Every structure is written in C-alpha cells, then in structure tokens.
Structure 1
Amino acid sequence: MTKTPKWNATDLPDQTGRTAVVTGANSGLGIATADALARAGAHVVLAVRDIKRGEAAAATVQGARGSVEVRRLDLADLASVRAFAAAWQGTLDLLINNAGVMNVPESRTKDGFERQFGTNHLGHFALTNLLLPHLTDRVVTVASGAHKLPGARMHFDNLNLTGEYSPVAAYSQSKLANLLFTLELQRRLTAAGSPVRALAAHPGWAATNLQGADASPLRRALMQMGNRFIAQDNKAGALPTLYAATQDLPGASYLGPDGLGEMRGGPTMVGRSAAAADPESAKRLWTASEELTGVTFPALKGKEITAGGGR
C-alpha cells in the first residue's frame, strides 16, 4: 500500500502579492519559515534584532519567486517594538510571532521584565496589537509543548518570577502565555467583527540555536544529543507554522507535528493543556499585558480597526 506523502513546504499555496512579517527570522525556524513563504511568492520582512545577521540570513534565500527585506526589531525593548510598528505602511497579510529565548539565565528586558516572559510574550503582544490596524489575514504565534510541563502555570502575582526564578518555569510560563494570548486575541477579533484570525503552532523538537543558550550545562548537553538523534531539522520544524499560516483553519487553532509525543512529523491539529484553554486566565493575562506594556487592543471605528495606545 502506498503511503500518502505528508504535507510539506512544496504544498504551500501561491503567496504572490502577500506580505508577511517573521520575527526572529535570522536563523532556525524563522529563516526556514521566511524562506518557504518567499519561495511561494510572498514578500517577507525578516524582523530581527541584529541587522547584519538578518542580511546574512536573507542572502541564503535564493531562487525565490517572492522577495525578502530586513528590518530591525528587538522584542526585549518596547521602544523598538513601537518604532517597528510605527514605520509600517500599507497592509500586512501575515504576522508570524516566531522569535524567542529558552531556559536562559535570569535577566531582564530593557523595560525591566523577566527576559523570557518579556521577549516571548510581552514583545509579541505589543507588536501584534500595534500592527493589527494593518493586518488582513492572520497572526500565527509559535508556542511550545513546554506549556504542558508539570507545574507549568501563570504566576499572576509574580509574572517576573522575582525571588523564585527558574529557567524552565519561566520558559513554560512564556509558552503558556503564547497560547492564552492566541485564545483571547481570537475572542476579541471575533467580537470586533474582524476577519483576521489568531492561531498558534509548535515545532516539536527541532534542532535550532535556541537550545544553545540554556542556563544548565547538563540540559545543554542533553539537548545537543537530542538535536543529533531525535530532532528534526528547522525546515521540518517550521511546517506547523507554515500550515497555520496558509491553510483554511478556524481561529485559535493549534498546530504541531503528528508523530509520537508531537516531537516530529507532519503538521496537524494538536491539543493544549487545560490551563492553556482557560478563557478566564486568557482575559486576566491580557489585562496584565496591557498594564505592563501600555498597549491595548485596537478600538473599532466602523468596520475598520484603529491603532491601540502605547506609553
């Protein structure tokens, strides 16, 4: 019996005429996502912290029917997020919130937030809301199976984990926040009558540079072994994101690999933890995120969305 081939990047629908922003697109899942979209015809903006690294990554996208450009964006600095959004002109079809840090030593963003929560969630929260007036199709946020780790929860009384920091606890909180953000964003978009959809995806275990900054030497060593013997490459890891970005799926859908433990395989709809599906927690996180960033969900003006605030 012939096995049906799994969906892959060559199955992307034509993206000609569409514009996408991919955060953290200078390496790993980000450049794989940007490359696939450009090859399908899209104009892709690589939103990166380091312009030189971004330009080097852009140079690897060769033979694409679409095009790429590089713009600076530091998600750990809300002033940079605001500057990126303020400079945007015209429509934006697709925003892919891909950038992130994982299991890093305790540190703070420029605005004083715990680095993983500030970068992985708050930076993308602000960016998304500030760009919503331009968006026409969807927002895809890259989450992680780490949101299901034992003890993973939102520390609403101490989101910066001051005095109780753990690299793994901080990372799992930020990834849980990604899914709660997607849930509440979709609720708000639906209530506003917007056609824009919010979705999330996770790559399974993909061999990228993300694991190299782990605060624990033991975990780094184990992850290096996992990258060698278990993980799929960045192109395969990007498939759930690409599927979420281009297929006709319901808002708030969550995509991941279809293999054992969702570690690898073709893209499919996957489940999330009960904590990640709690609408009250999603609303509470949204309120806290607005207070921390000074950025709000855009208000409706007729059938158009108008920009949210920013301090």
Structure 2
Amino acid sequence: MSDYMTNDLDERFKPGQKKKKQKNESFGSLMTSFFQQLVRDGRLRSYGACPQCATGTLYAFYDRKNKRARSLPACPTCGYKQTNGQPVQSQAEREKLKLIAARKDAVNYLINSSVFTDKTVVEKDFGNFKIKSDKQRQAVKVAQQIIQDVMAGNPVNAMFTGPTGTGKTHLAMATMYEILEKSRYHKRCIFVNYRKLLSQIKQGMSDPEAQKKYGHLIADQLSKADLVVIDDLGSEINDNGTVKQATQFDIEQITDIYDGRVGKCTITTTNWTGRDLMNIYGRRALSRMSEHSMNHIFNFEGIQDQRLLEAKS
C-alpha cells in the first residue's frame, strides 16, 4: 500500500472519529467511499467488476503526470489482481478501441462488397455536400428523415430521382455514412452501381469466376445487408432519355433484388420518374421499390448540375 494511501486511511480513522464511523458506517462502505474519492481525485482508475468475486471493483493506481497506469488492476474486496502484463485500459479506452474495430469492419465490408464505377464516391458525405439552394436544403431534410426512421428500426425504401449531376448519389452516400456512424458501425451497408452490376452478372454467364462472385452478391449479401444503395437504376436501358421496357432478364434481376430487400432499408437513385420505372421494369418491381417510401422520396429536378458548376469554377 502506498504512503499516501496509508495517510488517507490514517486521516479517516483518527482517534475520536473511529467509534463514530463504526457506529454509522460499515467498514466496507467506508472503503468503497475511500476508493471512490481516489477515483474522483484521479489517483485511481476503475476497471469494472472483479471477475473473481463479482461484487468488488477492479482499481489501478494512475500516474496523473504521465497519464498512465502505475499498476495492474486489483480488487480490494477479494484481493484478485490481474497478472497478464497487458497495458491497463479504462472503460472509455476499451469502448474507443471497440468503436475503431467496428468502424474498420464496417468500412471493409462496404468496400469489399460494393460495386463501384468511380471509387471517389466513397469520399462523399454531409461534410462536403454543398447547400446553395432551398431545394438542396429540402433534400437534406428528407435524408435526415430517412436516417431517423432507419435508426428507429423502421423499414425504409427511399428514392432520389432527377437529372444527372444534381447530387443524388452524393446524398445517398452521406445518408449511408450517417447511419453507419449513428449505429456505431454495427450496420452492414453496400453501395451498388446497378448498370455495372448488371454488366458483371451478364459477363458471369461466360465467366465462372464472375458468375460465382456476382451471383453470391445478389443471392446473399444484397438481401442480408442492413442498408443498400442502388445507384443509377435504369441507366442500363439507354442514354437518350427514351423510355423502353427492360429485357425479361433485367426485370427478373431487379425484381429479385427488391424482393430480397423487403423489410430493410434501400436507397435508390435514378434519372427516371416513378411512371418511367413502371414502364421499364413493370408494376411488381415498382411496388417493391415504393413500399415504406412515404416521406423518403425526393425529386432533384431544378437543382443545377454540380459537376458542371465545379468544372466552370
């Protein structure tokens, strides 16, 4: 026991005070109070319940000057002491490390499971989403509603529609990142550029390795992920703005994806209107896309092409 700890005990049990303390407080409660005071003073740190007796608390002396533990945690109730030689970590430090590990896992899952055409999309978040108009402010408000409903555990189908370059993909990614952060990275998220995914699936028909990879993505990961962004839906049809029905193969693929997403959160970005999507993919697919979509749809029509603005600046 250190000298300052002995002195504190001596001070607490001075002659003339001992009898009074014994009458009003048990020795155990006095010791608990004493250790709690040392924790408040920063001279001890608490490391949770004792694994041996379960009733006591592990404490370790703390060097306030050098900001590190000076001993391994020990239990004053039963005498248990850690002897593993590992650096002592506070509860806050352990929680921080757990959060870092969870973030690493969630980001790795996102990167390795997603289908990108441009990997700079992973850099898009609310921090660099520029709000220059009331319409963009309204778009962010819809995104915040999506986040709120997902975090409340509600199934959500969201849709961002409108011309290219207006920020649909950016806002979808920002929404995904916010949900990841608010869930403390416990949710699993995937981003899929639909045109590229469909191209890879078709390539897999003659490439067994590609078929295995993207077939697994459709059948397993896209149906199990907590949140999926399906980006640029309908871009595989054509680029001239003419609505035409998708092939039966394409319709089956998109229907399978949305059937597997029932009860989860899916954010879709597209240049087409809802009526266009029904003409392209049929009523059943549109019905799946539209479930739980109230307050989760936003049309970016009227927002300037941000890519052109950046190119001119």
Compute the TM-score of the two structures, normalised by the length of structure 2: 0.30
**Larger Rg computed on CA atoms:** 2
Compute the TM-score of the two structures, normalised by the length of structure 1: 0.30
Which structure's residues are more often helix, by fraction? Answer: 2
